[in-house]
Amino acid sequence: MASAGDHVEVGDASEHESEHTSNLKDTETNGGTNGVNTEHIANGGLQEPAHEEHDESDDVHEDGEEEVSEDESASESGSEEEDEDEDEEPALKYDLLGGSTASLLQKDSASALAVCSKFVAMGTHAGIVHALDFEGNRVKSFRPHSASIIDLCVDSTGDFVATASMDGQVVIHSLSTPESYAFDMKRPMRTVALDPNFAKNTTRAFVCGGMAGNLVMHEKGWLGHKENVLHSGEGPIWMARWRGNLIAWANDMGVKIYDMESQTRITFIDRPADSPRADLFKCTLHWQDDSTLLIAWADVIKVARVRSRPRIQTKQQSAEKILPPLMAEITALFGIEGMISGIVPYPTDPLQTASAAALTSFLVLAYTPPDTSFKDEAVVDRRQQARKLAERPELRIISRSGEELSSDVLDVPDFQTCGCNDYFLCEVPSEGETSKSYVVLNPRTIIIVKPRDRKDHITWLVERKRYEEALEQVELLEGHELNVVEIGEKYIDHLIAEGDFDKAAHMCPRVLGQDTQRWENWIFLFAQKQQLNAIIPYTPVETPRLTRLVYEMILAYFLANDRPALLRTVREWPTSNYDIAAVIVLIQSELSNIPPSSADASILMDCLVELFVANRQPGKALPYMLRLRRPNVFDLIRTNNLFTDVQDQALLLVEFDQEIVKKRQNAGENVEGTSPAIALLVDHTYSIPVARVVQQLQERPYFLFLYLDALFHKDPHLATEFADSQVTLYAEFAQPRLIDFLRASNYYSLEKAYKVCKERDYVPEMVFLLGRMGNNRAALSLIIDRLGDVERAIDFAKEQNDEDLWEDLLRYSETRPAFIRGLLENVGPEINPIRLIRRIKNGLEIPGLKEALIKILQAFNLQISLLEGCQTILEGDCATLARALHKNQNRGFFGTVGSTCPICSLPLHQDPDSITVLFLCRHVVHLTCVSGGEGLTRQPDAVLASLQGITTDFAGKIAFAASIRRRISQGCPVCHKRDEGNRT
């Protein structure tokens, strides 16, 4: 057996007696068949017609019991196959052609079919041709014959319809013009084929054939149509089809192909020897393209491909004959179960399984004979001669390798009485494969068949509750009109019915999108099913925003079942989604019913803090934050200016703050500086009165010490009322800092402070206090007797600057060598070293006396050297400055006629008799502008005086200048004004 891909070269017409392939039936099939009626009902298509019950008593044999048992087993196996096929998606969808079809076939029956892109042409047994559009509406009807129409053909333009009838007539009728042709062939006609360009060519060529056994070509000339017999003598012509330059026809011997260009028959494809009668099981020819012919005869399918013949020939072949330029080869050959009523090419469906062939498959209309009596025509038994009821036809998709990819049983009316030749299958011409459709005809109905597209695939998935796959397919489908939400809601409802609430909730965002109402409906359904926790994680918060009732219901659910989730939700959700006041009341009510120290109480208080802050009520959140010991309480107070709210919470604030400090210290952190709580209380004394804070911290002295200490460092005057308490607190908690406080503050009681220090034996502090009280001798005595610190005693004496105290110190030191040495080493301007040395008793041994004396002498010499050096520097500076002054006073002065007096702002030389005075500070003014300069006369000019006989010498000039100097008491008036602050 030849299979797909095997190339069997077929000889030309003269060699048709060559050996041909036999036993072509391929017994391998692909599973059972699916009844199509239920699928049709789901798609609004075919309905299973009610048919009359028939008496099958003639079919019952003597061994009926065995047949019944076999039928039962067959029905069981069939039901199992149907169950298995329920999950297999059909490849095709079906629709009955409505409109006028039912009324036209009510009293007549269809006998022939032709399809073009514009309409469906149907011929009937009454000889009528009906042109119907694809909605079933009648476009045109005419009756060209008086007997059954056997074959129809429509040209490529859809304008001419050719018919062949049992009445021996061939009629070509135009649907748009009055043009019409009728030919009486005298014998019943079986087929007619128009030139594809019949309407365009003036020859109006066509071929026809019938029971006479002649294939005749008619061409229109000047004198009418002329006939040309292309073939004859091999029995009736059963079918002819014309494509391009190739004409294929079938007779009792086989199939031949004629080339119009070379005017030769190019090939012969023989008919299997054991084929049944051609008049019972017709041959179907269909041109897939210009070079591929599909041949289906009985139960065998052949695919013939026409191609150019190779030009390489032997000399002997060239001498014998000239072969046609074209040749044909069989590219596929296989058999199927049942007889073939029609075949067309079927494009590979993208939704088909992976086993689908990559090449074009075949759509086959299969007819299953009720028995095998057609193989034996000379039977004697009358029961075998009786006509059996036929089975429903099947529409199969078969790959080029012969594998059955899909099979649907067609539930058509009156199928019991139909034969193989009563069914027709045609392809609707279309430009693209995506819009492919097919037409199936039986005597009573017309079915439109289309490949199932992605929309149909989605519908099929939905019907089988495979919603998730359906949604994935919808997302891949662009520009669809499918209701995604409806599919998704069915899926969600299915998951809920199955109890898979988590997955149902997971699908909600994908399905519901921005539809607020649908979201709310499903959330309420989950709540009704007590599965609200499943959908809460997927509930939209912002887009879309649902009604407050939904969010409040979720918060109430968390309050009752999951309080940590309540806290997370309160922090994450926008407060505008719910009524904050209502939620606060609800949480407070729940908080009052649980122990305050429980973990749930802490969570609820956290929730209240978040809600109060969000509701702009931070003052109400403050008590809960303090109870919860939240570190951000101080930030809350500062940010929201809650200082008046913490007036009575000072102790709680400081306690909480110190707990944080201890934790940080235990963690190894370096804690320095004022704590946040103390800093807050100190920085806002105008809102948090000091007296109120001190009153609250009295029970905790250390906290009071921290507060007063910080307060004193900020402003000593703020803690004046509590200075005595501070002395006690410093003495208890910070003794090293007590002396600093005693020195810095003037508001404590000296007696009380001395008592406190005396009780704790703080000698330095006692010394300081005795000094402040004026008891310097007692203080000095404490230093000498208790401390023994000569330097401290000297410092104390220096601080007091009391001569009697120095005398006491010297007297106390007379018998104490260490003090004498200390005094010698630290002697200064306050005490004369000679005075100390003279008080040293003879014979008193003083360790380090020599070194002390040497130190004193060295210091003395150093002082003398410093004094001498300073004197030298001073003398040098004085000399330098004196020279500079002398130089400045002796240098020339430049003046012009336009120079003005800085006092009166008049020109200096406005009057020849005016006297100007030049001061050593370089200021030049009128003599009259100087205080005391009035009344002085100008000294005569020396030249004029000599001419007049008046003698003037240098001494006279000096005397005149001296008289002016005596009269001018204030010196330069300009400098005088400047010194008084009136700068010019």
Q: φ and ψ at 871, to 5 degrees?
A: -65, -40
Residue 784's pLDDT is what? 67
Cα angle at 657 between 651 and 661, to 5 degrees?
140
> In sequence order, what are the beta bridge partners of 283?
297
Q: CA-to-CA distance for 395 and 101, rounded, in angstroms?
A: 21
Q: Is the pTM of this model over 0.85?
A: no
What's residue 766's pLDDT? 82
Helices (H), 7-144: 37-42, 64-85, 101-104
Question: Please, which residues bridge with residue 163 across strands?
Answer: 152, 171
Q: How far apart are CA 428 and CA 446, in angstroms?
A: 13
Neighbouring residues of 621: CB distance < 8 A, sequence distance ≥ 6: 608, 609, 612, 613, 636
At which residue do the structure tokens 């079933």 appear?
A: 136
Closest CA relative to residue 952, chosen from 940, 934, 965: 940
Identity at 185, one-letter amino acid code:
M
Find out whether 768 and 756 touch, Cβ atoms under 8 Å. Answer: no
User: What is the number of other CB atoms lying within 10 angstroms of the CB of residue 666?
Assistant: 8
- How far, in Å, CA of 944 to CA of 966, rounded? 27
Contacts of 240 (CB under 8 A, 6+ apart): 191, 192, 193, 207, 208, 209, 215, 247, 248, 249, 250, 285
The answer to whether 505 and 522 have CB atoms below 8 angstroms apart is no
- For 553, the enclosing helix (H) or strand (E) is helix 548-561
Q: Shortest CA distance to 11 belongs to which of 254, 242, 235?
A: 254
DSSP 8-state code for residue 15: G
Q: Report the pLDDT value the prediction gives residue 83, as an integer from 0 to 100.
A: 53
Specify the DSSP class assigned to residue 576.
G
> Which parts of 170-241 fold into alpha helices (H)?
none
- Which phi and psi angles does 326 have, rounded to 5°? -115, 155
CB 264 within 8 A of CB 258: yes
Reduced 3-state DSSP string for 136-158: CCEEEEECCCCCCEEEEEECCCC
- List the structure tokens of 352: 């088909």
Who's near 513: CB < 8 A, 6+ residues apart? 485
Measured on CA atoms in the order 720, 724, 730, 735, is the torsion positive or negative?
positive
Which among 105, 140, 137 has a CA at the least distance from the CA of 124? 105
Alpha carbons 723 and 744: distance in angstroms, whole number:
11
- Other residues' Cβ atoms within 10 Å of the Cβ of residue 358: 8
How far are the Cα atoms of 1, 78, 271, 303, 787 from residue 27, in angstroms, in the given order?
11, 19, 19, 19, 128
* Alpha carbons 438 and 94: distance in angstroms, whole number: 10
User: Angle CA(110)–CA(115)–CA(121) in degrees, nearest 5?
Assistant: 40
pLDDT at 550: 92
Q: Which residues contact residue 303 at a Cβ distance below 8 angstroms, ignoring those fewer than 6 apart? A: 288, 292, 293, 294, 295, 330, 331, 332, 333, 400
What does each C-alpha distance from 354 to 53, 708, 805, 863 come to in angstroms?
43, 88, 119, 115
Structure tokens at 587: 């949480």
Nearest CA to 181 among 201, 158, 156, 204?
204
Strands 215-221 and 206-210: antiparallel
Q: What is the pLDDT of residue 170?
A: 95
d(CA 177, CA 159): 8
Query: DSSP 3-state assignment of 93?
Result: strand
Q: CB atoms < 10 A from the CB of 414, how many?
A: 15
Predicted pLDDT of residue 675:
78
Beta-carbon-side half-sphere exposure of residue 609 (alpha carbons within 13 Å)? 21
Predicted pLDDT of residue 844: 62
DSSP for 230-298? EE-SSS---EEEEETTEEEEE-SSEEEEEETTTTEEEEEEEPPTT---TTTS-EEEEESSSSEEEEEET
For each successive 10 residues of the chain (984 residues), what is the average pLDDT? 42 39 33 37 37 37 40 49 63 90 92 93 95 93 94 93 95 92 93 93 93 93 87 92 94 92 90 82 92 92 91 58 86 90 81 47 90 56 66 91 89 88 91 76 93 84 83 74 80 89 90 90 92 91 90 92 91 90 91 87 90 86 81 79 80 81 73 74 85 88 88 86 88 88 87 87 81 73 68 68 66 66 62 64 65 73 86 92 83 76 82 77 82 68 53 70 76 82 56
Task: Render the burial of 16-26: b for 16+ CB within 10 Å, e for the rest.
Answer: beeebeeebeb
Cα torsion 648, 652, 654, 659 to 10°: value is -170
Q: How far is the C-alpha of 24 from the C-alpha of 527, rounded, in Å?
A: 67
Nearby residues of 550 by Cβ (< 8 Å), 6 or more positions away: 519, 520, 523, 524, 539
CB 118 within 8 A of CB 105: no
